[in-house]
Chains A and B, each alone.
Chain A
């Protein structure tokens, strides 16, 4: 969905480095989400936000933090990256009942 933009598309980083993944949307949706996808495990919810002042932990928030800078921007940070955070990360927005996904960020921690 081109209305949900994730940057970067691919990133390789070293263990212990801080890294930020960014998400911006032009849909005007209040709700935004970060998911992580690993082979065989489907998508797991990391954090979600209903507005700039409402941020909630998901299923696997340990090792991650988020910032909702504006209605349109929701960033995910790994304070000290570790190899098992290697995964495909998706940002999504929601209106009513369905999710609209970005194209993903493929993160490799070496």
Chain B
């Protein structure tokens, strides 16, 4: 079964707007990661947040983690057409298991 469920499943915004997508998971985790996939290509790692962290930033990306609610959000600020892709969260349940379970993904479309 899927550990992570992203919502929304699809999101369409105008260039320059912010995009927020959410990931919920079922069990306790060691870390949560976000990946990006362009049109059926291989996934690319974006950012990782550990279970003892609440927020991380990387460029235009901001990730939050709420372990009490078992949820994470990915915010992309000032979106660009090139941000159009699918975004997935992935969790490692326990430290050192190195077993990564993915969610169902959010398809983001940024309109120029």
Contact = CB atoms under 8 A, between A and B. Distances in A.
A88 to B, nearest CB: 6
Interface residues of A, number: 29
Given A41-B2, A44-B102, A59-B1, A99 B48 contact: no
A97 B92 contact: yes
Contacts of B71: none
Nearest to B90: A99
Interface residues of B, number: 26
B1 A101 contact: no
B59 interface: no
B104 A99 contact: no
Interface string B24-53: 000000010101000011111100100000
A103 B55 CA distance: 30
Interface of A: 1, 4, 31, 33, 35, 40-45, 48, 50, 56, 58-59, 88, 90, 92, 94, 97-104, 106
A42 B45 contact: no
A104 B2 contact: no
Interface of B: 1-2, 4, 6, 9, 31, 33, 35, 40-45, 48, 88, 90, 92, 98-105
A15 B4 CA distance: 32
B104 to A, nearest CB: 4
Given A104-B41, A104-B42, A98 B102 contact: no
A98 B98 contact: no
A1 B43 CA distance: 9
